[in-house]
Chain A
């Protein structure tokens, strides 16, 4: 894709570049990893309509990742495919919530629900970012994410209100994911400067609280276990799992055959 508003990227205060890059990389990596993980359902979803839906949602997420990598590429002067595919696995900065293996359908829906609702809170704030290329892109992304929220909300309620195994599996999944749920809001190393400049309109801790407050009313209604508020976030975007290393091997496999190939 053509450089998007590259002229604006050159105007960034050098003191803020690293922090902005970290923010963009976390957004891109989250969407990239969950997009690839969800694309694993293509062909094996429980019903055909869900095959279509999950494939479409996964494609949306990869498209969002591509656009965020584009902004990062503009900022760093790097090619977006290089950013997406040529890093070692430990250089990825996706949150631990999306670092688990796909699991079963209930696990996938539990993770999508936690991630999509947390991401919605993050994007709502970033729509007011002082970094115009980010605010503009987020305005568009939010319109698409609404469809994902609608989809996963229907599934959460369906599984939660089904008795027996579906509900048990959902509850178990939420308990497994709970300690990692707030890693979406892992504080950034240069966060104070980003908040001061308006690039990040409010601190991650405040976004986390906003998300948990909204989540609490839905989970109380459905009798589902809440994620802990004060989980340890010190390595919230590091320490990737073997499941991620496997996924990384998958999504880089074609690229590694011939990194210089022109498509």
Chain B
């Protein structure tokens, strides 16, 4: 084994670049970085530690994300730790502008309105249809096929679509 310190070999920028290639298991068009799930990256001498924030506490995709991140980073360091934390709550504000663009391109409406416990949840706000761009859309159900999504319907192009919940 080389006696050279491994510290210099792990570049935090390269870790973030690799994370940007890890797709969300349910919406592969967006990465875990696009969704704002990565809370922190710590680079040690021979370990990379990543902390992720679940979009919802009961999200069943969290374990898949952990293993996908560990698989993608394998090779960058001898040890990869991927931990789940609630140190700060994930909110839909954490989705990056690029992430919102990619969600729309995949048929998902963006979260609308203010987040936070003091801001009322406004179910009546118009959401832009990701297919035709119309604002003439109606909420069908605040709950959807996954914990993080609501169901909408576009009265112009007559397509149902899903929106990321505002949390």
* A residues adjacent to B (C-beta < 8 A): 1-5, 49, 52-53, 55-57, 59-64, 66-67, 133, 136-137, 139-144, 146-147, 150-151
- 11 contacts across the A-B interface (CB closer than 8 A): A1-B84, A2-B66, A53-B143, A63-B57, A63-B59, A136-B89, A137-B57, A140-B90, A143-B115, A146-B117, A147-B121
A49-B140, A52-B144, A150-B121 known; A143 and B66 CB under 8 Å?
no
Contact check, A67 vs B57: say whether CB atoms are below 8 A apart: yes
Contact check, A60 vs B57: say whether CB atoms are below 8 A apart: yes
Bound CA span A144–B146, Å: 13
A144-B167, A147-B165 known; A60 and B147 CB under 8 Å?
yes
Q: Which residues of B contact A66 (CB under 8 A)?
A: 57-58
Q: Which residues of A contact B66 (CB under 8 A)?
A: 2
Q: B91 at interface (Cβ–Cβ under 8 A)?
A: yes
Partner of A56, one of B54, B89, B123, B143: B143
Q: Which residues of B contact A140 (CB under 8 A)?
A: 54, 57, 86, 89-90
Bound CA span A5–B85, Å: 7
Residue of B nearest to A6 (CB): B83
Contact check, B142 vs A147: say whether CB atoms are below 8 A apart: yes
Contact check, A52 vs B143: say whether CB atoms are below 8 A apart: yes
Bound CA span A1–B121, Å: 30
Q: Count of chain B residues with Cβ under 8 Å from any Cβ of A?
A: 32
Contact check, A143 vs B89: say whether CB atoms are below 8 A apart: yes
CB distance from A220 to the nearest CB of B (A): 23
Q: B141 at interface (Cβ–Cβ under 8 A)?
A: yes
Q: B131 at interface (Cβ–Cβ under 8 A)?
A: no
Q: B13 at interface (Cβ–Cβ under 8 A)?
A: no
Residue of A nearest to B54 (CB): A140
Partner of A63, one of B56, B89, B117, B141: B56
Q: Which residues of B contact A146 (CB under 8 A)?
A: 117, 121
Bound CA span A7–B145, Å: 36
CB distance from B82 to the nearest CB of A (A): 7
Q: Which residues of chain B in 45-86 are interfacial with respect to chain A, using CB atoms and an 8 Å cutoff?
A: 54, 56-59, 62-63, 66, 82-86
Contact check, A4 vs B89: say whether CB atoms are below 8 A apart: no
Q: Which residues of B contact A147 (CB under 8 A)?
A: 121, 142-143, 165, 167
CB distance from A74 to the nearest CB of B (A): 12
Bound CA span A56–B147, Å: 6
Q: B8 at interface (Cβ–Cβ under 8 A)?
A: no
A2-B82, A140-B89 known; A150 and B142 CB under 8 Å?
yes
Residue of B nearest to A134 (CB): B86
CB distance from B19 to the nearest CB of A (A): 17
Q: Which residues of chain B in 140-157 are interfacial with respect to chain A, using CB atoms and an 8 Å cutoff?
A: 140-145, 147, 151
Q: B87 at interface (Cβ–Cβ under 8 A)?
A: yes
CB distance from B39 to the nearest CB of A (A): 11
Partner of B58, one of A5, A63, A150, A151: A63
Going nearest first, the 8 A-B pairs with the smallest beta carbon separation are A63-B58, A56-B143, A140-B89, A53-B143, A136-B86, A63-B57, A143-B167, A49-B141
A1-B63, A60-B56 known; A151 and B143 CB under 8 Å?
yes
